[in-house]
Amino acid sequence: MKRILVLCTGNSCRSQIAHGYLKYFAGSKAEVYSAGVETHGVNPKAIEIMAEDHIDISKHTSNNVDEYMNIPFDYMITVCDNAKERCPYFPTQAQKFHYNFPDPAKATGTDEEVMDAFRNVREMIKKYSADFIEQHINTHP
């Protein structure tokens, strides 16, 4: 079974959304973990917009990357430039991937405009996650 680590700054939004979708699309073919270079708690808006798409991340926790140093990951995905630049040395043979998704937690405006920003990022991460699993898990048993 393949192991995937998704890394973000605070493990609160983007990495949590990616964790939910990667796990959903991989099913039993991969173990998915997410972490941050800091921990900010799981953002309630991320939980809400994932529930809209029938994915429950309400039990996820915000974890620091240091907690996973001894796990032999096959893939490591950074989902923001800050995490890519700040990630401490991580001893892994994992293939590394990077995609800088916008941070929905920085969205401003009305409640609906902020939620739309979360939904837009969710859709970007959903597509990326589906493509990633198709290319790296489903085609490489």
Instruction: Return the domain boundaries, the chain.
Output: 2-138
Between CA 5 and CA 132 the distance in angstroms is 13
Look-up of token digits 């405006």 = 109
Q: What is the pTM of this model?
A: 0.93
Task: Catalytic residue, from 57, 77, 87, 125: name it.
Answer: 87
What is the residue whose two structure tokens read 């001894």? 70
Of 3.40.50.2300, 3.90.1150.10, 3.40.50.1820, 1.10.230.10, the CATH number of 2-138 is: 3.40.50.2300
Q: Which residue has the tokens 């890519």?
A: 84
In the structure, what pLDDT confidence band is assigned to residue 140 with cuts at 50, 70 and 90? low
Residue 40 corresponds to which tokens in the numbers above? Answer: 């900010």
Catalytic residue among 37, 80, 105, 133: 80
For residue 77, give the 3-state DSSP assignment: strand
Q: Is position 8 annotated as part of the catalytic site?
A: yes
Helices (H), the chain: 14-26, 44-52, 81-86, 111-133
Find where tokens 């939620």 sit. 115
Rounded to an integer, the average pLDDT of 102-129 is: 96
Q: Of the listed 5, 8, 22, 117, which one is catalytic? A: 8
Tens digits of residue pLDDT in 51-101: 999 999 999 999 998 899 889 999 999 898 766 565 555 567 889 899 999
Token pair of 21 as six digits? 């979708």
42: number of Cβ within 10 Å? 23
pLDDT for res 114:
97
Catalytic, 13? Answer no
